[in-house]
Amino acid sequence: MDLKLFSFKNQPPASLSTEIRLLLPVFLVFTFFFGCFLIIPQTKTLILGGLMIAYFIPPSGKESLIPVGIALGIPWWLMAFTLAFLDVVTALFMILNFDLVLRLPYIGPWATKFLNSGTAFMAERPWLSRWRILGVAFFVFLPLQGTGGVGATIVGMMTGLNPGEILLAIGIGASVECLVFAIGSELILNLILTNFILGVTVALLVILTAAAGMFMYIRYRNRKRQA
């Protein structure tokens, strides 16, 4: 399948040089990181920086890094905003440098394979096209591998969204997902501190429920593929 079929409706301005397209997302991340020194203590900011790096290393995700960050003393709201921000910046990098991304060692082959299976992918999820922005936002909200900034940008391309709409959809979905994980983690942590046994029990129930949901989803998807 021709990858040009999945071009954006509105390409980034041709006046933007390659250097700007590459460095703008990086500049935004570093600006945010150094700005955190004005909000939280230096040691906490360095911890946050480490978690930001870890977010780009599979299989790390929001469901694991947000509880860890909160347990290490990062405010829940800052952990939520940070990972949602990283998803949006990742999407921005994808939009500005899509041709380059396709040539990267790990992401490129995965993105190409994803695009080439676009017809089948969309056929299994017709709600993505019907709901457009909300559909992509819900896709990002799902706590599954590949629903972050990279995968969601490609899905946004396949649904016909323009760059601004893709960023909006990812911002909505990532923000809601991060808030759910952050608020839930904060509540469980406070419960553990006040009633250890009850808190651990609730945490285990949440983990088991999530694992069961994941197992059922994978089983359902495998059955649908075999049908």
Residue 130 has pLDDT above 70, yes or no: yes
> Rounded CA gap, 101 and 103, in Å?
5
26 or 130, which is more confident?
26
The pLDDT of 18-36, averaged and rounded, is 93
Write the single-letter amino acid at 24: L
Going by C-beta distance under 8 Å and a sequence separation of 6 or more, which residues neighbour residue 14? none
Amino acid identity of residue 78, one-letter, is L
Q: Is 2 a residue whose pLDDT tops 50? A: no
Residue type, 178: C
- Cβ-based neighbour number of residue 210 at 10 Å: 12
What are the phi and psi torsion angles at 146 (to 5°)? 95, 5
Does pTM top 0.75 for this prediction?
A: yes
Q: If you average pLDDT over residues 144-164, what whole number do you get?
A: 84
Phi and psi based region of residue 130 (left: phi greater than 0; alpha: psi -120 to 50; beta: remaining): alpha
What pLDDT, in 10s, does the model give residues 158-217? 888 999 999 999 999 999 999 999 999 999 888 888 888 887 888 788 778 767 766 676
Q: For residues 33 and 49, what is the distance between their CA atoms, to the nearest angstrom?
A: 7
Half-sphere exposure of 185 (CA within 13 A, CB side): 25
Domain ranges for the chain? 13-182, 195-227
Burial class (CB in 10 A: 0-12, 13-18, 19+), 177: buried
